[in-house]
Amino acid sequence: MDKVRILFLPGIDADNTNAQSLNVREITLRLDPGAFRSTLWYEQKPDPRLLELPGIRLLKLPSRGKTRRILSEMLSGHDIIAYMDYSPASYMFLHLPRFVRSKVKAVFHAEAPADQIANQSRALRFLYSGTYPRGDIYTGITEFVARDVYNTAKKKTSYILPVGVDTKLFAPPEARRSASPVVLFAGTLIARKGPQYVVDAGLRFPSVGFHLVGSGREGFEVVLRQKIAQLGLKNIKLEGPKTQSQMLKIMRESDIFLLPSRLEGLPKVTLEAAATGLPCIVFRDYETPSVIDGVTGFQVGTLEEMMQALEKLVADRSLREQMGTAARKHVENFDWDRVSTHWQSAYLEMAADQAR
């Protein structure tokens, strides 16, 4: 059988911290070069780990005419186009007659519930409605997301493909020596992610340090700064966006991970936090398998439950250590070396079906 030719749409620039970009880089690094030929895009400087590797082809996007260039590549004879998105190029590709698209499989990897698109721009919602229902294959990051795909788009997912974490890189420190607990939030600073509730927790636990890591969107970081200043809180720091290595250092210096978002799939940050030995507090709304309630952290249903769980962990160092150890052991099931084998098997099956 010839090599399976896969075009991945997310860019793989070295400074790109987008979750899909990070996922694609980890997956392609582990695909068998004897069985796959992966094509990936970059704009400035690609992830150096991907340079000059067998089975990996890197393409530089032009500063102008990006849509035309991407569409041209989509029509150049790949077997699979992975991580289909809501771009003009994907829209045009999926509206071409089937005989023009040939037998290439357009794959949507659903990583979050469809409700995430609800408050986006009109243009993005238009592109979403014109692309998402037209895919050939759908995968879900969790069983919960797979059910959401069916409920919202009436599409059945063919595979459950979780994302992973590099447990060699994300590892616990030898010891945690904070005089008082440090609570970490990491994610985009937007209302949907719930950083405003981290500020509320900072008011409730004035002796605890709270660090919020992430870039702001739509001016929401300004809203947070104003709220922190109005409440006179000195125990909360807005750290801004961080690189992966900086994030690792911050996690090792923290004691608890708190994610008040109620609309997620399988948050990568919870895998990274668990790998560094942090107990996590998340909401059970999206049923993430990255946190086992009462074992590696807490899955809560209300803000008050969140505060109560946080109080337990703040007050009890031994509980934090016990849950952190369990979290590290649990997350080894999500090591990229294990998880990527599922992706490879799925892509091989997709290509075999295409050939038939």
Instruction: Compute the chain's Rg from CA coordinates.
Output: 21
Q: What is the DSSP letter of 178?
A: -
- Residue 182 near residue 208 (C-beta atoms within 8 A): yes
Query: Across-strand partners of 209?
Result: 182
CA distance 286 to 331: 18
Three-class SS state of 235: coil
Q: Which CATH number fits domain 4-164+335-355: 3.40.50.300, 3.40.50.2000, 3.30.930.10, 3.40.50.2300?
A: 3.40.50.2000
Burial environment of residue 122 by CB neighbours within 10 A (0 to 12, 13 to 18, 19 or more): exposed
Whole-prediction pTM:
0.93
Confirm or reject CATH 2.60.40.3140 for domain 182-334, answering yes or no. no
CA 209 to chain centre: 26
The greatest distance separating any two alpha carbons of the chain, rounded to the nearest whole angstrom, comes to 66
How far is it, in rounded angstroms, from Cα 308 to Cα 278?
17
Q: How is the chain split into domains, by residue range?
A: 4-164+335-355, 182-334
Q: Which two tokens stand for residue 217?
A: 């969107």
Structure tokens at 89: 């190029």
What pLDDT is recorded for position 1?
A: 57
Beta strands in 191-322 (DSSP E): 209-213, 236-240, 256-258, 280-283, 297-300
- The pair of structure tokens assigned to 53 is 């590797």
On the question of a common fold for 4-164+335-355 and 182-334, the answer reads yes
Strands (E), the chain: 4-11, 36-42, 56-60, 80-82, 105-110, 137-140, 159-160, 182-186, 209-213, 236-240, 256-258, 280-283, 297-300
Pull the structure tokens for residue 94: 């999926």
CA atoms within 13 A of residue 248's CA, in its CB half-sphere? 13
| Closest by CA position to 87, among listed 11, 157, 28 | 11
| Contact indicator for 247, 186 with CB cutoff of 8 Å | yes
Q: Which residue bears the tokens 């987008």?
A: 18
Q: What is the pLDDT of residue 356?
A: 58
C-alpha–C-alpha distance, residues 53 and 50, integer Å: 6
DSSP letter at 216 equals: B
- pLDDT tens string 48-99: 999 999 999 999 999 999 999 999 999 999 999 999 999 999 999 999 999 8
Q: How many CB atoms lie within 10 A of CB 291?
A: 29
* Straight-line distance from the first to the last Cα atom of the chain, in angstroms, rounded to the nearest whole number: 12
Secondary structure (H, E, C), 85-119? CCCHHHHHHHCCCHHHHCCCEEEEEECCCHHHHCC
Strand arrangement, sheet containing 280-283: 236-240, 209-213, 182-186, 256-258, 280-283, 297-300
Give pLDDT tens digits along the chain (356 positions): 589 999 999 999 998 988 899 999 999 999 999 999 999 999 999 999 999 999 999 999 999 999 999 999 999 999 999 999 999 999 999 999 998 988 899 999 999 998 877 677 889 889 999 999 999 999 999 999 999 999 999 999 999 999 999 999 999 999 998 889 999 999 999 999 999 999 999 999 999 999 999 999 889 999 999 999 999 999 999 999 998 899 999 999 999 999 999 999 999 999 999 999 999 999 999 999 999 999 999 999 999 999 999 999 999 999 999 999 999 999 999 999 999 999 999 999 999 976 65
